[in-house]
Structure 1
Amino acid sequence: MRDRVVAQLDAAVRAPLTLVTAPAGWGKTAALVAWARTARLGDGNEAPVVRWVTSHSAHGADVPGQLLGALSTQPDDELDKTGEWYEDDLLKAVDALDRPHIVVVDDVREISDPEALTELESLVRHGMGQLHLVLSCRRDPALPLYRWRVNGSLTEMRTNDLSLTITETAQLLAAHDVVLPGSTLYALHSITEGWPAGVRLAAMAMRGHPEPERVLDDGGAFSTAVGDFLTGEVIDSLPADTRQLLLDTAVAPRLNAGLVEAITGRDDGARVLAELKGSNAFLSRNAGPGGWYRFHPLFARTLHAELLRRNPERVPELHRRAAAWHATYGIPAEALRHALLAEDWHGAVEVLDRHWPDIVGGVRYDRPHEAAPHAPGVEEAADPHLVLAFAAERLRVGDLDGARDFLRRSDRDGGSPMLAGFAAAEAWLAGDARRTLAALPDLHPNTDEVRALALLDEGEARLRLGELAAAGAPLHGALVLAQRAGMAQAQVRAASQLAVLESTRGRLRAAARLGRQALVTADRFGITDATDLGWVRMALASVYGEWDRIAEADRLLDEGLDLAAGDPDLLVAIATVRARLRHGAGRLAAALEVLHAARRELGGAPLAPAVERALALTEAELRISGGDLGAARRLVATGGDPDVFPGWAACVDASAALVEGKAAAAASTAAQFATPSTDSALTWTVHAAILTSLAGRALGDRNRVLRGLETALDIAEEESFRRPFLVGGHPVRDLLANFAPLLPVYHPLAAELAAGSSPLAGGSRGGGDGNLVEPLTERELTVLRYLQGTMSNLEIASTLYVSVNTVKTHVKNIYRKLHAGRRREAVERARELRLL
C-alpha cells in the first residue's frame, strides 16, 4: 500500500473522528487495512488497540451496536440478548477502556436513524482521548461535521487524498507487469484521474496486450470492465429519477445549474448538482466562480454509453437543447459541437458564421468523451461552411489529419478571412509557427473578433519562436479585444499565453496574476480540459519554483501533465521546469533522468524553437553541476536556435567559465545581461548579476561585487526571486553574508537567504575526499553523481558521450576507492565522505 496514504491516515486518526470518504473503487478499505497493521498514536510510541467493524446496513442504525460489540470486554453472547443497545452503553464501554482504541467502521452506506446519530455525536464529544472513531463512507453521514471541523474534532480524507499520483499509477501498472511510455501513462492518468479501480482495470486489460496504448480507446475489455463496475456500483443503485437525470445530462461533459435545467426541463438544477456531488456520484465541482461541475471522465463515458443503449431516441433532442443553451450563454465552440452531434446542420453553420473567430481562436485539445460527429452526407457536404464546421471540431480535439481532410473539401472559398483563420489554426496544430505567421496577412482584421484572433495567432507564434520582445504587444492587444468582444475561449488562450510569456521573462508577479486570471475565466465559462490550461499550470509552476514553493510547483506540473497528451511542446516544457526543480533540490541524477525521459518520449518529433532551446540550456546547466563542462558548452552552441534566450545562454557560459577559474571571462560574458532593460528577461538578469558578483570577488573587484549583488537583490525583492540565490550554494550565501551589509540600502531578503541552508553543494567536494587513500578523479566524481539515480551504465555513457566500457572502468575504480561492493553502498559511502 502507498506509504503516502498510510502516513496521512496516521496523522488523521489523532482526532476523535476521522472520515474516509470517496466513491466506489477508491481504495478506502485497502488503505485502512494497510494502515491498521502499523497504526500508532501520539509520538508514534503508543500502539492502540484497533478494532474492525464492517457495516452493510441499509440505514446504519446498527453502527452504535456494532461499536459496542467491538469495545466490550465481554463475549458477544453475554451482550444484551435483545440485540439492542441503550443510550449509555457506549459511553460506559468507553469509560472502561484502559488504553486508546481505534474503531474502524468500514463501508458505512448510510446513517440516518436519529438515535444512532445522537449516540455517535456523544462518542465524538466524550471520547476522553481513549476512543478514535474512523468511518469509511461513500458519502458524508448526517452528522454536525461543520461544527467538528471548527473545533478540531474531525479530520477528513477524501478522493484527492486517495487518488493515485502519476508515480503511483506507474507502480501499480508495474505490479501487473505493465510498463507504458510516458505519453500513454499520462493519458491513462488523465482519463482515470488517479482512480485506483480504473488503473487496476486498465492494467489487467493491458497485460499481455500487443499495443497497450490502444486499450484506452478501443472500446474493448477495459471499457467493458469499467462500464460494468460503474453501472453496477453506482448507476443502478440510484433512484430512477436521479438515474434518468444523469443519463440525460450525459450529453454534456460539463454542467451547471442552467444547463441541467435546459437539458432536462427541471427547475432545480443547483440543488440536484449539489446533492449528486454530496453523494459522491463521480461528480466534482470546479473551484472558482462559475458554478460548473464535471463528471469523472470514465464515468462520463459510461453514462453516455448507457444513454445510447437505453434511450438512443432522446440523444438528438438533448444535444439540440444543449446547443441552444451554449449559444445563448456565450460558449460557441460547445454550441457548435452539440449542433453537429444533433445533426442540426443549419444550426451548426449559423453558430460558425457568427462566432468563427472565437471558435478557431479557442482551438485546443479538449477531451470530449463522445465519438466524433458523423460527417455530413453528399448533399449537405455541398455547403463549404458546414464542412468548415466539421474542420473546427477536428481542430478542437487535435485531429490534424481529420481537420486537413475537411479543409481540403472546403477549399472553394479561398481568400476569405475565415479560411485564413483556419489555415493559421491548422499550422499551429502542426507545430509550424512560421506558417501561422504567413497565414495572417489574409486574416483581414475588419472586426474586433477577427483582430483579436489575428493578434492572438501572431503573439503565440512569436512566443513559440522565442521572440519574447515581439510577442508581448499582440498578446496584450488580443486579451483586451477578446474581453471587449466577449470571446470566452480567446480570453483564456490570451491570458494563458501571456502567463507563459511573463514567467519566461521573469515577471513573476505578472505571470501569477495572468495565470490566475486565465483559470478564473476558464472556470466561469466551463472550460476545464483545454491544453492552454496545461500551459498555465506550467507557467505557474515555473513561478512557484523561482519563489522556492516546490510542493505547489510539483502539484501544478502534475495537473499540467493531465492536459498535455498530444502536445509535445507542453510535455517538454513541463519536463524542463521539473528538472530545474530537481536540480534546485540537489537531485542532479533525477533532474537528468527527467530530461532524458522527455527526449525518449519525443522520438524525434520537432519542437517549437523556444522549447527546444530551453531543453538544451536546462541540460547544459545540469552538465555544469555534474562537472561536464564540455557537454555543457556543446549544448549551448548546438542545442536549438542560438538566437533564442541569449541571456540564459550567456549565464551558462559564464557559469562554466567560473568553474574553470576564468573569472575575467565569466565577468565579461555575464556583464552583457546583468543590467535590467525593457526587453531583458529578469530571471537571467538576476543570474547574470550574481555571476558578475561572484566573478568580481574572484578578481578582487569590490565594486563589481557590490554592483552585481545590488542589482540581483533589487530585482529579487520586487519579484520575490529565491531560486537563483539558493542554487548558488555556499559561494552565494557567503556573498550575501559578507557584502550585502555593505550596500547603501538594507535588503531584508539578503539576511534571510544568507541564514538559510542551500539544498545544493555547489559542485564542491567539501574536502571530504581527504579521507580517501586514493582520491577520485574529476571524471570519476562526475560518474559518481550519476550513480545516485537509476540510470544504467549505458545511459550514463550516452549522457557523457563516452563508451560504456569507459563508464564501467570508472565505476570499478569508484567501488575500489570507496571500498564498496555495489552502487547503493558506494553512494552511501560517498555521502558520508561529503563527496555528494
Structure 2
Amino acid sequence: MVQYYLQLRDRGIATGWFRLDKADNDVDRFLAYLVEAFRAIDTAIPSALGRYDGAVANDTHGAMLDLAGHLAAFEGEFVLFLDDFEVIESPVVLGLVRQFIDVLPAGGRLVIGSRTVPDLGLGRLRAHGQLVEIETPQLRFSSAETAAFLRQQRGLALRDDDILRLQHRTEGWPAALWLVSLALRDRSDPHRFVETFDGSNASIADYLVEDVLARQAEPVRRFLLGTSVLQELSAPLCDHLLQRGDSHELLAQIERAHLFLVPQDSERHWYRYHALFSGFLRDQLRQSAPQEVHGLHQRAAQWWAGHGKPTRAIEHALQCGDGDYLMALLQAHANDLLWLGRTRTLARWHAAPAVAARLAQHPALMLIFGWALTLAHRYDESLKLLDTLQAGLAAGTLGEQDVPAVAISVQRAFILAMQDRVKESAELWHVCTPRVTPAQPFSYAMLGASYGFCLVAESRFAEARGFLEQARRRVQEIGDSFIAPMALCLEGAIDFAQGHLRNATSGFRAALAGGGAALLPQAANNTVAAAFLAEALYEANALDEAERLLNIYLPLLKDAAAPDQLITSFAVLARIACARGHQSRADELLDEMEVVGHRHGLPRMVATARLERSRVALLRGEVVAAQNQLASGCDERTWQPLGGLVTHANDTEAPAIAQFRLRIRTGRAEATLAPLKQALKEADALQRHRRALKLSILLAEALCATGQTAAGLRRLRDAVQFAAGEGFVRSFVDEGPMLMRWVGELQDSLAEAHGGDAGLAGFVARLLAAGGVSPQRPAGQPPASTAPTSAGVLSERELQVLRLLTGGHRNRAIAERLFVSETTVKAHLRSINVKLGTESRTHAIAVARQRGLLD
C-alpha cells in the first residue's frame, strides 16, 4: 500500500491516508479523522477537529455532508487509503464507509488494507465491476522479489541458497522478511543465522522482534518499552512519562533505525508505533516490569490533563490503578463531555471495572452516566442506575444535595419518549415541569427539547415554542452543546405541522449546519436534522437532495435517531424509490423498516410500514392486499397507548387517513364525507394545517367520486391555493393517478377562466409534471381521455438518463454521474424503451428528439 501511495504522489495524484485503530469505532472520532484525511486531498474541505480535546469538531455529522458535497464537485483523480481496517467493528462506521463508496465520484478511489474481509457489501461491488481484490497469496514475494528486496533495498549480501531458504521459511511474507532484514543487519555471519532460523508465520514476528529488541542499546530499549503505553508519542510527552530530557533525540534515532516508528505529521512532532511492534512492546513491558505499568499510565494521564485533553487523560487513568485519581478526573470533566454529546465515550467508560467499582460513591456521576447510556439507547442500563439513585433517596442514604429527585424523573420521562411511550412521557413531564429550574442545567435543557416534543404531539404549539426558547437560552449560556440542533429541529417540526414548509425547511437546514455560530453544537444529535430536512425536501419534490441526504445519514440515524425520525427516514426513502419506479427497492426498505422496528421494540414503526404498504397496494389496484396491510397497520394495541396524541411521523399518514383513502378508492366515498369533514375541522382547530391539507385533498377526491364535481374542484382549488404558497407537492402527487386526474380537471377550469391566477396555474402545472402528467393539455379536454405525452410518461430520472445517452455516455459513466448502480441504469433504459416503444438506445434517442423531449 505504501508503494502504491508513493507512486500516486509521484504522479501528482491527490492522496490521503487514514490509519485506523480501535478508537475509530467511535463514529464521531471516525468522521473527524476521515474528514482530516480528505483534507490532504482537498484543502478546501473544512477541518473536523474541534477546540475541545482536539478530537471531534463542532459538527462532525454536518462535516460529513460537506465532505460528500466536496467529493461530488472534485475535479480530477484522488485516492484515499484506509489502513488497518480490520479494527473496525461498529455497524454504524461500516455503514458510513459503504455510503461513501456509493457516493465516490468517477475520479475517486478507495484503497482499504485489512487483515480480514470487511463487511462492506463486497459482493455487490464485485458484481458491478467496481472492486479490485488483492488477496494474501498475491501479496507474498516471489523468490526474485525476495532477492531484490533483501539485496537491493536492504543492502544485505546474502547467498542464493540463503535467500531461497528465507523465501521458503517465511513463505514470502513481506513483514517477516522486513523483520529478518533487521535481525541480519550488522551480523558478521548472516549465513549462520539463516541456517538456524525457523518458524511459521504465527511465530516469526515475536521471535524476530524479540531479537531486534534485544540488540538495542539499553537506553533505547527502556525508552521503547516505557513509551509502549502511549497511542501517540511526542518528545515533551515522552520526557514527562520517562522523566528524562532527551526524547527528541531518541525518537529521531529510533526513526532512523527503522524500528517501526511512524511519523504522524510532516514536522515530526507526533509519532506512533506500528501495530506489529506496539503490541509486542506492551507484552514485554508487562512481563519485564509489571510494577511500572500503572505509574506510566498515571504520568501519561497527568500530562494529557495538564494540556487540556481530558479524554486522553481519562483513557490512561482507567489503566493507572489509582481509582481516586480516575474518579476525580471524571467528576471534573464528565459533565462537559455530556454537554458536548460524547455519549458513546462516556458509555464505554461506564463499563470499565475501575469505574463500576466506585460509581456508587458518586451519585452525580451516576446521573451523568445514566444520561450517556440513555442517549446511546442503552435504556435498561440507565434505568438500573436511576433505580439505584431512587432507592438511595428513599432510604435516606442520599439527599437532594447529592442528586435532585426531579433530575431522576426528567431522565425517566426522556427514556419513555425514546421508547415511543409518548403518552406516559407527557404525563411524567407534566409532573416534572414545575420542579425543574435553571439551577439543574442539563435537566432544564432536556426539558425544553423532550417536553417540547410531547407538547407538539399534544398540539400545544405555543407552549412548545416557549419551552424550546428556554432551552436555546440555556444552551447559549453554557456554550457548545448537542441540544441546540435538537431544539431547532422541534421548532421546524412545529412549522411543518402548521403548514409553514418554507420556514421548516430553513430551520432544518440550520440545524443540520450546526445551529448557527452562536450555538456551535458538538455533536451527534444534529444528525436527526437530516431526517427532518429530507422529509421537507421530499414534500417539495426535491427528490434528489432528499435521497442524497438519507443515503448518507441513514447509518447514523439507525444508531441515534428517535422513533419518529427513523420512521420518516425509511418512509421517505421508500416513497422516493417508488417515484423512481424501483418498487423492489421500496419493498426492501419497508422490510428493513419492519425489522428495525421489531429489533428496537417500536410497534408504531412496524405499523407505519404496513400503512405504507397499504397505500402502495391501493395505487397498484391490489385492493385485497391493501385491506390486509391496513388491518395489520391499524391494530389498536399499537395506537391506543398514544391516547389521541399526534406524532410527527404519523401526522399525515395515520390509521384514520389510510382508512379514508381506502374507502374513497373502493366505492365507499359517500360514507367518508362526514367523518372526513369532521377530521378536517378538528385539524384546523388544532392548527395542524399540514394534516388539514392532506384531509382537504382526500375530501376533494371523495366529493368528485360521489358526483359532486364542482364542490370537489372548489375544495381542491382551496387546497392547491394553500399548497402553492408553501410548496407542498408530494401531498398531492402521492395520492396517485386518480387525484392527478382531478388536478388536471382543475387546470382546465383555470384555463377557461380568462384572467385567472397565473401563479396558481403555474403551480398546478408543476403538480401535474411531478405526477407524470403533461401540464400542457388543451383547455376543456376531458382528463379521462387524455393520453399523457412521452415527457409525462418518462420520470425525471429517465429523462436525465436520456440526456446523458445523447452525450455519448455509456452505462457506467451514467451510473457514476447519477450516483446509482449500472443495474439501475439498465432498468431505466428498459423502462424508457417500453414507454417510448423503442428497441435500442439509438432508437430511443431518435424518438425522444422527434417528440421534443430533449429540448
What TM-score, normalized by structure 1, do the two folds share? 0.52
Aligned partner of 1:194: which letter?
Answer: F
Q: Which residue of 1 aligns with 2:268?
A: none
Describe the superposition over 1:75-105 as per-residue Cα deviations: whole angstroms up to 9, x where unpaired: xxxxxxxxxxxxxxxxxxxxxxxxxxxxxx7
Output the amino acid matched with 1:346: A
Residue in structure 2 matched with residue 731 of structure 1 by the alignment: 741
- Residue 532 of structure 2 is matched in structure 1 by 539
- Is the aligned partner of 1:682 residue 2:703? no
Aligned to 2:590: 595
Residue 580 (structure 1) aligned to one of 575, 579, 584: 575
Alignment partner of 2:663 out of 657, 660, 671: 657
**Percent identity between the two aligned chains:** 15
Q: Over residues 579-632 of structure 1, what are the superposed CA-to-partner deviations in whole Å (9 max), with x where a residue is unaligned?
A: 2222334444432331122213433642275x4554343233222112233235
- Structure 2 unaligned regions, length at least 5: 18-37, 45-72, 102-109, 123-134, 140-173, 179-223, 235-262, 266-272, 286-292, 395-403, 775-782, 788-826, 839-855
Matched, 1:511 2:504: yes
Q: 1:754 to 1:363 in 2, by over 3 A?
A: same
CA distance in 2, matches of 1:422, 1:491: 18
Number of residue pairs matched? 550
Cα distance in 2 for residues equivalent to 1:481 and 1:333: 28
User: Hey, what's the Cα distance between the residues in 2 that align with 1:536 and 1:301?
Assistant: 38
Instruction: Determine the structure 1 residue equivalent to 2:622.
Output: 628
Counterpart of 1:385 (choices 364, 371, 392) is: 364
Q: Spell out, residue by residue over 1:157-206, the C-alpha distance to the aligned partner (whole angstroms, 9 max, x if none).
A: 5579x99xxxxxxxxx9xxxxxxxxx986552136763654597663589
1:155 and 2:94 are equivalent in the alignment: no
Distance 2:702 2:754 in 1: 18
Q: Could you report, residue by residue, the CA deviation over 1:333-385 in whole angstroms, capped at 9, with x for unpaired residues? A: 99999998995423433556xx59x9489686679998955533756742333
Which residue matches 2:553? 560
Q: CA RMSD in A?
A: 5.9
- Structure 2 CA distance for aligned equivalents of residues 304 and 715 of structure 1: 66
Establish whether residue 476 from structure 1 lines up as the match of residue 468 from structure 2.
Answer: yes
Which residue matches 1:786? none
Aligned to 2:765: 754
Q: Which residue of 2 aligns with 1:189?
A: 95
Q: Distance in 1 between matches of 2:308 and 2:6?
A: 45
Residue 374 of structure 2 is aligned to residue 376 of structure 1:
no
Q: Secondary structure at the match of 2:684?
A: coil
* Aligned counterpart in structure 2 of residue 423 of structure 1, from 412, 422, 428: 412
Unaligned stretches of 5+ residues in structure 1 = 1-23, 30-53, 64-104, 111-136, 144-152, 164-172, 174-182, 209-220, 233-239, 250-280, 284-298, 770-822
The verdict on how the C-alpha distance between 1:759 and 1:620 changes in structure 2, with shifts beyond 3 A counting, is same
Equivalent residue runs for 1:295-334 within 5 Å: none
Task: Give the letter aligned to residue 738 of structure 1.
Answer: D
Query: CA separation of 1:824/1:512 partners in 2, compared to 1, >3 Å: closer, same or farther?
Result: closer
Partner-residue secondary structure (3-state), 2:355: coil
Does residue 1:412 correspond to 2:332, yes or no? Answer: no
Within 5 Å, give how 1:69-148 maps onto structure 2: 139=40
Q: Given residue 705 of structure 1, which amino acid in structure 2 is its aligned partner?
A: G
Q: CA deviation at 1:547?
A: 0.9
Query: How far, CA to CA, are the matches of 2:687 and 2:511 in structure 1?
Result: 24
The counterpart of 2:451, out of the listed 446, 454, 458, is 458
What whole-Å deviation, never above 9, does each CA across 1:508-552 have from its counterpart, x for those lacking one? 22322322332343686775652x333211110000101111111
The equivalent position to 1:607 in structure 2, one of 602, 607, 629, is: 602
CA contact (8 A) 1:363 1:396 kept: no
Contact kept, 8 Å, 1:246 with 1:303, in 2: the verdict is no
One of 654, 657, 671 as aligned partner of 2:677: 671
Distance 1:536 1:378, change over 3 A: closer
SS at match of 1:721: coil
| Counterpart secondary structure, 1:349 | helix
| Structure 2 CA distance for partners of 1:574 and 1:308, relative to 1, 3 Å | farther
Encode CA deviations 1:492-518: one digit per residue, 9 max, x unaligned: 322233334544554322322322332
Give the one of 310, 321, 328 matched to 1:346.
Answer: 328
1:709 to 706, 711, 716: 716
CA spacing shift, 1:387–1:654, aligned 2, 3 Å: closer
Residue 601 of structure 2 aligns with an amino acid whose one-letter code is P
Which residue is 1:70 aligned to?
Answer: none
Distance in 2 (CA, whole Å) between partners of 1:346 and 1:656 is 62
- Structure 1 residues 625, 514: closer, same or farther in 2, change over 3 A? same
CA–CA distance in 2 between the matches of 1:383 and 1:141? 47
Change beyond 3 A, Cα 1:507–1:158: farther
Aligned-partner Cα distance in 1 for 2:454–2:42: 53
What CA distance in whole angstroms lies between the structure 2 residues aligned with 1:749 and 1:306? 74
**Alpha carbons 1:247, 1:303 under 8 Å: kept:** no
Deviations, residues 296-350 of structure 1 (Å, cap 9, x unaligned): xxx99999999999999776677667778889xxxx9999999989954234335
In structure 2, C-alpha distance between the alignment counterparts of 1:514 and 1:378, rounded to whole Å: 45
Match of 1:124 in 2: none
Q: Matches of residues 159-238 of structure 1 in structure 2 within 5 Å?
A: 188-190=94-96, 194=100, 196-198=110-112, 203=117
Please state whether the residue corresponding to 2:692 is helix, strand or coil. helix
Distance change (3 Å), C-alpha of 1:433 and 1:340: farther
Contact 2:499/2:688, CA 8 A, preserved across alignment:
yes
8 Å CA contact retained: 2:229, 2:296: no
Shift of 1:734: 0.9
Q: 1:529 to 1:395 in 2, by over 3 A?
A: same
State the distance in 2 between where 1:442 and 1:204 align.
47
Secondary structure, aligned partner of 1:376: helix
Bigger Rg, structure 1 or 2:
2
Whole-angstrom distance in 1 between the partners of 2:500 and 2:277: 45
Residue 686 of structure 2 aligns to a residue whose secondary structure is coil
Q: Please name the residue that 1:399 is paired with.
A: 378
Find the counterpart in structure 2 of residue 262 from structure 1.
none
Task: Give the conservation status (yes or no) of the 8 Å contact 1:674–1:685.
Answer: yes
Q: What's 1:485 paired with?
A: 477
Match of 2:232 in 1: 247
Answer yes or no: is the 8 Å Cα contact 2:92–2:555 preserved in 1.
Answer: yes
Q: Which amino acid aligns with 2:408?
A: L
Q: Residue 436 of structure 1: CA displacement?
A: 3.9
Q: How far does residue 748 in structure 1 lie from its aligned partner after superposition? A: 1.9
Q: Distance in 2 between matches of 1:300 and 1:648?
A: 55
The residue identity in structure 2 corresponding to 1:203 is V
**d(CA) in 1 for partners of 2:379 and 2:40?**
43
- Which of the pair has the greater relative contact order for Cα pairs under 8 Å at 6+ separation? 2
Of the structure 1 ranges 443-452 and 469-478, higher mean CA displacement relative to structure 2 is found in 469-478
Residue 437 (structure 2) aligned to one of 426, 446, 455: 446
Contact between 1:483 and 1:491, CA under 8 Å: does it hold in 2?
yes
Q: Structure 2: how far apart are the matches of 1:827 and 1:154?
A: 32
Change (3 A) 1:679 1:572: same
**In structure 2, do the counterparts of structure 1 residues 203 and 634 end up closer, same or farther at CA, with 3 Å as the change threshold?**
same
CA 1:486/1:154 → structure 2, altered by over 3 Å: closer, same or farther? closer
Displacement after TM superposition at 1:578 (Å)? 1.2
What's the TM-score, normalizing by structure 2?
0.51
Partners in 1 of 2:353 and 2:418 — Cα distance? 22
Please give the alpha-carbon distance, in whole angstroms, between the structure 2 residues aligned to 1:511 and 1:317. 51
Using the alignment, how far apart are the partners of 1:766 and 1:307 within structure 2? 80
- Asked whether the 8 Å contact 1:326–1:334 carries over to 2, the reply is no
Q: Is the 8 A contact 1:541 1:552 kept in 2?
A: yes
Asked if 2 retains the 8 angstrom alpha-carbon contact of 1:360 and 1:392, the reply is: no
Secondary structure of 2:75's aligned partner? strand
Q: Which moves more between the two structures, 543-552 or 651-660?
A: 651-660
Which whole-Å CA distance do the structure 2 matches of 1:401 and 1:200 have between them?
35
